[in-house]
Amino acid sequence: MKRIVAKLHDFNELVMFQHSIFSLPFIFIAMIVAAGGWFGFSLLLLGILAAISARNFAMGVNRYADRDIDALNPRTQERPNADGRLDSTTILLFSVVNALVFIIVAYLINDLAFMLAIPVLAVLGSYSYFKRFSELAHVVLGISLGLAPLAGVVAVSESVPQWSVLLSLGVLFWVAGFDLLYSLQDIEFDKLHGLHSVPSVYGPKATLFISTLFHLNTVLFWWMFVWAAELGFFAWMAVAASALMLGYEHYLVRKDFTKIDRAFFTVNGYLGIVFLVLIILDQWVR
């Protein structure tokens, strides 16, 4: 029993399950807006399964592809893929199983979700390889999480309305922007090992500037989302709260690079939750 618990702990550490908090709120935001409120327990369960299996697949592929790099980086040497607790075959099998779960769940949701399942997996699996030849990897990660709201609206309405595209573009720039900040930790390592990232190619000052531009786009697209979806007061409050939290994130990082973890995990984690709660309130009072 102890071995099973230990292995489950290793898998949890591999994919950092708790970081699902970044994509789940925006899936549910899209589903709530598409349904005009509650979308039902069946779609809630399927949505959670789809989100978790998709993220597990993406993280599994990432850890499989990066096992050699992670073993060299002092920041990542103790990850299960780097220290040998999980071998490459196990990680690959874990990724394949989660891909199959995602495809099955998509089939159970509707025809459009099923048709899009494999293209979505292809995008999710591509991020890990982009940084080996292009600093656009940050944007690819943003696209990967930006697919979450689109998946949510497809699950409910089997369509892709304009407002959902605007919401997704906001998520794209949000994620790409905070990934730029997070990658400031690995500037020297990336340079030494020939990995492509905006900080290693253009430096910290340019990275902070580009991240700021991305997060300004985030606020703009979320403002356009609320307008296009004809939402109310609490939705506008969600956009305002997001702007304040992103501003605080940049303040933390600019003040002290050692605060990157706090900015990345804490601020961004709360941002999604606050946005979701305010959207729920907005639908409740309408």
Distance (Å) of CA 76 to CA 72, 81, 199, 225: 8, 9, 18, 37
Query: What tokens appear for 178 in the block?
Result: 């905070």
The C-alpha atoms of residue 194 and residue 11 are separated, in whole angstroms, by: 29
pLDDT value, residue 190: 78
Domain ranges of the chain: 2-285
Q: Judging by beta carbons within 10 Å of its beta carbon (0-12, 13-18, 19+), is residue 57 exposed, middle or buried?
A: buried
pLDDT score, position 7? 62
Which CA distances in Å does 98 have to 38, 105, 129, 286? 27, 10, 19, 38
Of 256, 249, 264, the closest CA to residue 216 belongs to 249
Alpha helices in 134-267 (DSSP H): 137-157, 162-182, 187-193, 198-202, 204-228, 233-255, 260-261
> Which pLDDT score, from 0 to 100, does residue 17 have?
59
Both tokens of 3, joined, read 């071995």
CATH superfamily of 2-285: UbiA prenyltransferase (1.10.357.140)
Tokens standing for 152?
């949510």
The residue ranges of the chain whose pLDDT is under 50 are: none
Res 232: pLDDT: 94
- Contact (Cβ atoms closer than 8 angstroms) between residue 86 and residue 135: no
pLDDT at 20: 60
129: Cβ contacts below 8 Å, ≥ 6 apart: 65
Both tokens of residue 198? 């905006």
DSSP category for residue 161? -
- Tell me the residue type at 236: W
Distances, alpha carbon 63 to alpha carbons 51, 128, 243, 276, in Å = 18, 8, 32, 29
Whole-number pLDDT of residue 257: 65
